[in-house]
Amino acid sequence: MEEALFAHAADAHLGAQDRVFMKEGERIAFKDLVDTCIKDHVDFLLFSGDLFDSNVPSMTVASFVAQELKRLWEHGIPAYEIHGSHDNSPTHSSMIEVLEGAGLLVNASRVVQSGDLIALEPIIDRTGVKIYGMPGLREGREKEFYEILDREKLESDQGKKIFMFHSAISELRTGRFAKMEAIPLSYLPRSFSYYAGGHVHARSVNDLPGFGTLVYPGPLFAGWGIEDITDYSKNGGGFFLVHLSDDIKVDFVKEEPVKVVVVDKNADGLSSQEYAKELEPKEDYSGSMVVLRLHGKLKSGRVADISSEYLRAAYAKAGAKDVMVSRGELSGPEQRIVRVGTVSQLEETLMAENVKPPYKPELAKALLEVLSREKLEGETDSDYEERLVGEAERIIDDFLSSSKGKKK
């Protein structure tokens, strides 16, 4: 029987953090992953999507990742990846393709047409383990691929098999992911040794009768958004080391490159003056990133009475290396709470309410993503404008072509 030791990580979202202290944490977490792979002599690394937070990250982030992947390559450790919802682009242009072209990553998603169905071709690692990959798409659109996937062919293949995917599973959704776009468990091919999941930002190990061991490692570091940062402050990030032989053994490697403390305060029933007093630091925060999560409805006063500048100064005096004030869920008596959840969730709600047929929220979201991209290092204003306009035009052309095809 084939035996292998491999690392399984996902959802690094490199480039998501915009604060110096947290950017450092991103880099340390990814470097530690590579260090562990080298130190423990793993046979290969699996990365189940969303290596970057954007399909075109900054050159600083891309250069760092290339250097780390080169260290793996120099030690003879292949890195197999699949695209996640953040890695994919409507224009099919991504930094992932650049790294693959340089031989630093191997795309495990080998999708081929087979009549009315699609088939997946395996990568056969030097250990003899067969690795199949299904990419993730934005808005859970990979569901359409699963509906025409030739599962029978995958299930009939013999040997040790790994299925990489970047989707939530309906039957496994819990907590804040309960309403997440998902595919049913029945869409996965049965009888695989290991299912290397990504996309769900929560760690779990699931032994599923008739299938195998299905694992979500959760974010490598702090993902993106206030919910992920809050989870990281409680549980850390990390990845799994997996021993694959006749049995499966998984060991979690916890990552806490920087200390994050979330101060969660509810304003319900308090005046702005009382709430400000509640928010003042009451302990030592030396060496920590402090996230002040402000939410609820003040009984009197204004949200503007809560000074972010004062709070940052107060927590810095208490030893915090950096202070982030999240106040999007806080309202005063004269306000109603409009913003609930993450920025991404708000965007989806507004688009669903305001984008009317024949256009679709997915088109608006894709255009918003393109038009909100920053200039690349060394890029001129005219090149920047031409790049964004060109990508936006291609998205619109793809949408129009798709719409005409459906009418036929």
- The residue from 86, 166, 201, 295 that is catalytic is 86
Q: Taking the CA atoms of the chain, what radius of gyration do you get in angstroms?
A: 23
pLDDT digits 0-9 by tens, 285-330: 999 999 999 999 999 999 999 999 999 999 999 999 999 999 889 9
86 is an active site residue:
yes
User: What CATH architecture does domain 4-255 belong to?
Assistant: 4-Layer Sandwich (3.60)
* pLDDT score at 157: 93
Q: Which two tokens stand for residue 166?
A: 């970047």
Mean pLDDT by groups of 10 residues along the chain of 408 residues: 88 92 95 98 97 90 96 98 79 80 94 90 96 82 89 93 96 92 95 96 95 96 91 96 94 96 95 95 94 95 92 96 91 63 63 66 76 69 74 74 56
pLDDT for res 375: 67
Stated as kind and residue range, the H or E segment containing 253 is: strand 248-255
Domain boundaries, the chain: 4-255, 259-331, 343-407
Burial bucket for residue 338 (CB in 10 Å: 0-12, 13-18, 19+) = exposed
Considering only CA atoms, which of 200, 248, 242, 204 is closest in space to residue 44?
242
4-9 and 194-198: which strand pairing? unpaired
